[in-house]
Structure 1
Amino acid sequence: MSSGATGARARTMPARRALPAVVRDTHRALVEAGNWSGGEVVRIGLGVSRPYLVTDPAHVQEVLQDRAATYPRGDDTALWRSVRKLVGDGILAEGEVWAASRRTLAPLFRPTRVEAMVDAMADSIGTAVDALDAVADAGTTVDIGHELSRIVCASIMRLFFADRIPVDDALRIMAAQETVVTAMAPRLLVPFLPWWFPVPGDRRFHAAVQAIDDILLPVLRAALRDPGAGDDVLSTLARARTADGRPLGEKQLRDDLVAMVGVSTETSYVALTWLWPVLAGQPEVADRLYDEIDRVVAGGPVRAEHLPDLVYTRSVLDELLRLYPAGWILPRRAAADDVLGGVRIPKGATVILSPYVTHRMPRWWGETAESFDPDRFAPGRAGADGRHRYAYYPFGAGMHRCLGEHLFTLEAVLIVATLLSRFRFTLADPRVPDPRVATSLRPARAVRLTVRRVSPSTRRPEPARGVR
């Protein structure tokens, strides 16, 4: 609806109900607020902050696509202020700065280009997975989140930097990114605090950003001096030119690479960490997944030709992202007075969209909305139920839809197929963890498990060597 139209005042969930629930369990509180809204645009009373919650897929489309200029990311929201402190300007900015970065980066993540790198990615993943052989032999437990971060690091860092960054430095970048994400949590819990007001985690945040720059900037400067002929992202960007023929500046290159590496690694390993506790509670899903991977891959290395036949694997990952979207909350700031869903939105208001909430609402997904059912995404079924296309948006939507969506999908299938074709896993605690407040949807506790090799002849777990 145009900004000149009139609208009603939003219903407000009172602070006495909303605030204790948000403090106790932020994610659950937002889901409950979404169900309370019935799909209407509502306000959530959080004391001095009363953001608008948008859950109806039609309204999501209006905010993220149809009237995206009216609802920019908003530099003054707690999330985006923190993100900008890390990534500066570039692909996560707005306006012409964002558009210039998008024009530069988009060709690097086209499906055809990413698909051409599948076998190289598979080789990197396979080499990283080899380290689990020793874990299986020892019969010890591991943190699968840590192992996934290491595997994703091997794949993504090579794709972005070829051999310019040693493995140890790449792992240090990953560790610093982890620190950044956890250090931002206090500001997400008190979004109304001004940036100058110190909160726990600020020092760790700034130290982690500096650690990333200490590793990355010398590599970027060397690449700008001598880009080489490689097809990795850094070499390609170092050879790139702006619309007026100038080379990319160091700052733009740094900001875009930090943003894309951060998003690519974070989305992949955080989302995949949820798979193991989910499978532990869904043995029939686990059996179908193992059966498909064993049949298609047959114990060999995963290659590009296997991907079209890993249909159920893709459905499992789609459903995993429905319940556990890495980008679980998307705050926006109204740049002008507007009317959304018949509700007045004043200029300057904070508008919250949450794939995590919309994806779990029975209004859009039926009474089994919070159950794990990969068959929702079976070929021929997805979209056949008349569900609005923005009922599912784990990668965002509109002009800011994630550039790395296709990269994530291929990488995730490769990682899952490689791991499950070679090993079986037993969780130390099979319960699905609660999520914790962070920029991405992370488990509140480590997901620890034991690893057992799969026998090439029987496709059954082998006993751990030396373990009685």
Structure 2
Amino acid sequence: MELDIMDSKFFNVGLLVVATLIVAKLISVVIMRKSGKRLPPVIKAFPPIIGGLLRFLKGPIIMLKEEYPKLGSVFTLNLVNKNITFLIGPEVSAHFFKASETDLSQQEVYRFNVPTFGPGVVFDVDYTIRQEQFRFFTEALRANKLKSYVDHMVVEAQDYFSKWGDSGEVDLKYELEHLIILTASRCLLGREVRDKLFDDVSALFHDLDNGMLPISVLFPYLPIPAHRRRDRARKKLAEIFSNIIGSRKSSGKCETDMLQCFIDSKYKDGRGTTEGEVTGLLIAALFAGQHTSSITSTWTGAYLLRFKEYLSAVVEEQKTVMKKHGENVDHDVLSEMEVLHRCIKEALRLHPPLIMLLRQSHSDFSVTTLEGKEYDIPKGHIVATSPAFANRLPHIFKDPDSYDPDRFAPGRDEDKAAGQFSYISFGGGRHGCLGEPFAYLQIKAIWSHLLRNFEFDLISPFPEIDWNAMVVGVKGKVMVRYKRRKLVVD
């Protein structure tokens, strides 16, 4: 009897909550209509209240493919108590990329990163401090710094692939993931980690990575095992880097890595970075680059091995570069590899690891579509755009689902023909990816070495997309057969 009464109470409370949400939604719709605003069309979803959430969880790209042809480039999804308005295409996304932080903010939508990155950095500080910390990243990725990083990249690739035999079969995805983390350790985390602590730090980063789950976006502090392992790993990493930073400062040693750049960085008021800030910035840098680079280097290889004409083109480019520079590979030599650059860029167009970019709107703004329709986006909406969808718009890219690196060649320049923000694999505007040059150099350094020293055949089916990952990558293994060779220059 008591259980029946309790069940009845919970049922009544549930009904009250649902009814309150419905009434609140209806009131807001009436108010917005009376205000005369030209609101974007709304995605129809059933059942009420949770239907939008169910469609979103089913897969945002699936939803966009279904709704874009019906609703156009601007539309809203009701997500329980939130509204997400999508801006698809360069004609309507300019405000998304250009708006100031006071108008469209990153902080609210990306605060779920705070437990991973740690306190006092990036999304746990106000915008003025975050801008200064982004300046530290910019300074750590200047051309003179990148040149020293490239030297480390080349050595890591040479050492790693020297352990391969004269022939064999490998999972290319696994091999590239492992090499990327080795390279990142040397360039970003420092010599001490790479030479002495790699296995320990790699295991801790693995726990950090596995603590970033889809549910973490909504409930980053939920007391689940993955989050507890994440928090323990974060604490241990802080201890390791505290010791490294202290040792460097006491010895006066100065290294050529991002760790040293962060140690030497100063805020505008003259204050230096703390050990906690340096650790948090390093973790943020590794998270921003590790997955994206390994995923893109894997897709680059898969497409080259599938389309032999482009494989032949990049091999011929290596011969041309070697004829000019010999065996030397440095920052300037990698910058000359335009054909390889276009092949990487096309793999990124088709498979950007970050499929959704989000902002929180703090003010009303308006957009005009390609067809001339005007829409008012209300304050309070989450505003989104999707590189994975926008990079395949047919009015911008010819045969958008086809792999065609030459679409970026001089004379075609499809990513520029429709104006700014046509190609958004690295975002753009105020919050464009600071690590873009680093990523291209890293992937070029790896594939330059592979193309010069090995012949490959793809022996597994062409890989599928792993939509279930937080950073969308390659599903399953990418098995290749290799044979060692030395590229002959005529």
Q: Do they fold alike, i.e. is TM over 0.5?
A: yes
The equivalences for 1:61-100 within 5 A come to: 61-75=94-108, 77=109, 80-88=110-118, 89-92=120-123, 94-100=126-132
* C-alpha displacement of 1:315: 0.7
- More deviation in 266-275 or 278-287? 278-287
Is 1:235 matched with 2:260?
yes
The equivalences for 1:326-341 within 5 A come to: 326-341=353-368
CA distance in 1, matches of 2:485, 2:175: 18
SS class of match (1:390): coil
Is 1:124 matched with 2:151?
no
The equivalences for 1:315-326 within 5 A come to: 315-326=342-353
Give per-residue Cα distances to partners, 1:364-421, cap 9 Å, x unaligned. Answer: 324x111111001113432686222201122222222222111112121111111121
2:27 alignment counterpart:
none
Contact 1:128 / 1:150 at 8 angstroms: preserved in 2?
no
1:15 is aligned, of 45, 69, 80, to 45
1:262 alignment counterpart:
287
CA distance in 2, matches of 1:94, 1:421: 48
Is 1:169 matched with 2:197?
yes
SS class of match (2:76): strand
SS class of match (1:61): helix
Give per-residue Cα distances to partners, 1:227-260, cap 9 Å, x unaligned. Answer: 5233322223323332222221122212111111
2:386 is aligned, of 320, 332, 354, to 354
The equivalences for 1:403-414 within 5 A come to: 403-414=434-445
CA distance in 2, matches of 1:337, 1:441: 32
Is 1:376 matched with 2:407?
yes
CA distance in 1, matches of 2:334, 2:289: 20
The equivalences for 1:100-249 within 5 A come to: 100-131=132-163, 133-134=164-165, 136-137=166-167, 139=168, 141-167=169-195, 169-187=197-215, 193-195=218-220, 197=222, 201-249=226-274
* C-alpha displacement of 1:262: 2.2
Contact 1:223 / 1:238 at 8 angstroms: preserved in 2?
no
Give per-residue Cα distances to partners, 1:286-306, cap 9 Å, x unaligned. Answer: 222233224434794634453
* AA in 2 matched with 1:312: V
Gaps of 5+ in 1: 460-468
* AA in 2 matched with 1:322: R
Give per-residue Cα distances to partners, 1:213-237, cap 9 Å, x unaligned. Answer: 3543332343344452333222233
2:63 alignment counterpart:
29
TM-score normalised according to structure 2 size: 0.80
Contact 1:126 / 1:301 at 8 angstroms: preserved in 2?
no
* AA in 2 matched with 1:100: E
CA separation of 1:162 and 1:178: change in aligned 2, threshold 3 A: closer
CA separation of 1:365 and 1:34: change in aligned 2, threshold 3 A: farther
CA distance in 1, matches of 2:67, 2:121: 33
CA distance in 2, matches of 1:276, 1:432: 11
* C-alpha displacement of 1:22: 4.4
CA distance in 1, matches of 2:228, 2:405: 42
CA separation of 1:213 and 1:385: change in aligned 2, threshold 3 A: closer
CA distance in 2, matches of 1:15, 1:199: 31
* C-alpha displacement of 1:452: 2.0
SS class of match (1:450): strand
Contact 1:34 / 1:361 at 8 angstroms: preserved in 2?
no
**Higher RCO (CA < 8 A, seq sep 6+):** 1
1:462 alignment counterpart:
none
CA distance in 2, matches of 1:146, 1:174: 15
SS class of match (2:384): strand
CA distance in 1, matches of 2:65, 2:402: 14
CA separation of 1:200 and 1:433: change in aligned 2, threshold 3 A: farther
1:448 alignment counterpart:
479
* AA in 1 matched with 2:43: M
Contact 2:349 / 2:388 at 8 angstroms: preserved in 1?
yes
* C-alpha displacement of 1:127: 1.7
CA separation of 1:363 and 1:36: change in aligned 2, threshold 3 A: farther
SS class of match (2:105): coil
Total equivalences in the alignment: 443
CA distance in 2, matches of 1:173, 1:267: 19
CA distance in 2, matches of 1:401, 1:102: 11
Give per-residue Cα distances to partners, 1:295-330, cap 9 Å, x unaligned. Answer: 434794634453244221011011111111223221
- More deviation in 142-151 or 43-52? 43-52
Give per-residue Cα distances to partners, 1:344-368, cap 9 Å, x unaligned. Answer: 33333222222111101213324x1
Quick check: which has more Rg, 1 or 2? 2
CA distance in 2, matches of 1:271, 1:73: 25
2:341 is aligned, of 296, 310, 314, to 314
Gaps of 5+ in 2: 1-34, 369-373
CA separation of 1:284 and 1:352: change in aligned 2, threshold 3 A: same
CA separation of 1:6 and 1:444: change in aligned 2, threshold 3 A: farther
CA distance in 2, matches of 1:285, 1:200: 46
CA distance in 2, matches of 1:224, 1:6: 62
Contact 1:70 / 1:335 at 8 angstroms: preserved in 2?
yes
* AA in 2 matched with 1:260: A
TM-score normalised according to structure 1 size: 0.83
CA separation of 1:310 and 1:10: change in aligned 2, threshold 3 A: same
CA distance in 2, matches of 1:44, 1:259: 30
Contact 1:87 / 1:255 at 8 angstroms: preserved in 2?
yes
* C-alpha displacement of 1:35: 4.5
* AA in 2 matched with 1:59: V
* AA in 1 matched with 2:329: V
CA separation of 1:94 and 1:273: change in aligned 2, threshold 3 A: farther
CA distance in 2, matches of 1:168, 1:362: 50
* AA in 1 matched with 2:117: V
Is 1:57 matched with 2:98?
no
2:446 alignment counterpart:
415
* AA in 2 matched with 1:29: M
Contact 2:396 / 2:417 at 8 angstroms: preserved in 1?
no
CA distance in 2, matches of 1:397, 1:348: 22
SS class of match (1:12): coil
Contact 2:115 / 2:221 at 8 angstroms: preserved in 1?
no
